[in-house]
């Protein structure tokens, strides 16, 4: 039995190894050598210079930390530039909707897709023409400057304002006496106006007005009507008080800080009514078309009868 096993393993057809005197078979040396020669293609012991890939140690947390911080800063910068940015409310001009010290998040994404400000939206915009002249300039420390640049803190360097959009291109807006404020002849019910204020301000600096919004501009007003230097009081600047659409940073969508003030900033229901300046004309045209067609038909029939009589006569 021992010889057959050796022969089967060695694969040789030559003479078989003789039995030992003690009856045991000779050691199968070829098998030992053969198994060692196969180590390069499969299992077996690796050479002294080989490295086990499984033995590579992962980087420590402290070595990975700078990379993680770098990625986080890049993402924060991209978010601030293209998606959302935080802004701080520096004044009381938008009370009670916004309080001084509130932090709001501003949607900067939709303007990239061509969306323009709509009536009733609370928007942040760059100073159109020295509206903030004389206002104190903030002096943030180095850490605040870095955080503001990546959007983790409100911007301290940019000259930005926040107001509510009242009118868009083509709208006629007017204030007479204490109000109500009218857009294209329709009165607005404004529950967001600061308690104790009137919708319109009785003064000779701009509180009484009637304006038509040109293309590419918007008309903005603060909710604290008697404490807001808005479009009404800049009608002598180069934009006649209007804000260029290109100056709009984005729409404020939520109060993010402090937690006790958390709230969304939806468009008030009063702006849901049909305020379009083109609507009355369009309705009038639609009503006039049937009348014109009926009149033309009547005149055509009448003319054919007259010409018929003339030919017969």
Degrees, nearest 5: CA angle 155-159-160 = 80
Q: Where are the beta strands (DSSP E) in 181-289?
A: 182-183, 186-187, 209-212, 217-221, 243-244, 248-257, 263-264
The catalytic position among 93, 148, 155, 228 is 93
**What is the spatial distance between Cα 261 and Cα 40, in angstroms, rounded to a whole number?**
70
Please name the residues in contact with 290: beta carbons below 8 A apart, sequence gap of 6 or more: none
For 28, 49, 192, 218, 292, the CA distances from 199, given in Å and listed in that order, are 107, 86, 10, 18, 43
**What is the spatial distance between Cα 197 and Cα 212, in angstroms, rounded to a whole number?**
24
**What is the spatial distance between Cα 116 and Cα 251, in angstroms, rounded to a whole number?**
10
Cis peptide preceding 258, ω within 30 of 0: yes
The catalytic position among 80, 108, 163, 182 is 163
Instruction: Check if 238 is active-site.
Output: no
CA 205 to chain centre: 37
What is the pairing mode between strands 160-167 and 122-126?
antiparallel
Residue 254 per-residue DSSP state: E
Instruction: Check if 210 is active-site.
Output: no
108 by DSSP, 3-state: which?
coil
Please identify every residue annotated as catalytic.
93, 163
């Amino acid at each position: 039995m021992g010889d057959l096993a050796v022969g089967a393993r060695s694969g040789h057809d030559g003479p078989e190894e003789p039995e030992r005197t003690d009856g045991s078979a000779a050691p199968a040396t070829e098998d030992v050598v053969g198994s060692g020669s196969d180590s390069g293609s499969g299992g077996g012991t690796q050479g002294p210079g080989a490295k086990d890939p499984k033995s590579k140690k992962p980087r420590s947390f402290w070595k990975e930390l700078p990379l993680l911080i770098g990625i986080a800063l890049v993402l924060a910068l991209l978010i601030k530039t293209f998606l959302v940015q935080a802004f701080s409310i520096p004044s009381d001009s938008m009370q009670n909707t916004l309080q001084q010290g509130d932090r709001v998040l501003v949607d900067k994404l939709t303007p990239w897709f061509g969306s323009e400000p709509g009536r009733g939206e609370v928007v942040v915009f760059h100073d159109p023409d020295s509206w903030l002249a004389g206002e104190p300039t903030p002096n943030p420390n180095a850490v605040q400057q870095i955080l503001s640049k990546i959007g983790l803190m409100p911007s301290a360097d940019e000259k930005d304002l926040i107001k509510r959009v009242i009118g868009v291109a083509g709208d006629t807006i007017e204030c007479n006496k204490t109000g109500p404020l009218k857009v294209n002849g329709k009165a607005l019910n404004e529950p967001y106006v600061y308690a104790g204020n009137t919708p319109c301000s009785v003064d000779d600096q701009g509180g009484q007005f009637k304006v038509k919004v040109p293309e590419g501009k918007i008309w903005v007003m603060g909710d604290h009507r008697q404490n807001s230097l808005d479009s009404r009081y800049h009608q002598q600047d180069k934009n006649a008080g209007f804000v260029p659409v290109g100056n709009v940073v984005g729409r404020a969508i939520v109060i993010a800080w402090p937690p006790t003030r958390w709230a969304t900033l939806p468009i008030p229901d009063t702006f849901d009514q049909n305020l379009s300046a083109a609507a009355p004309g369009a309705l009038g045209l639609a009503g006039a078309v049937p009348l014109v067609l009926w009149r033309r038909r009547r005149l055509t029939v009448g003319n054919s009868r007259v010409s018929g009589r003339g030919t017969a006569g």
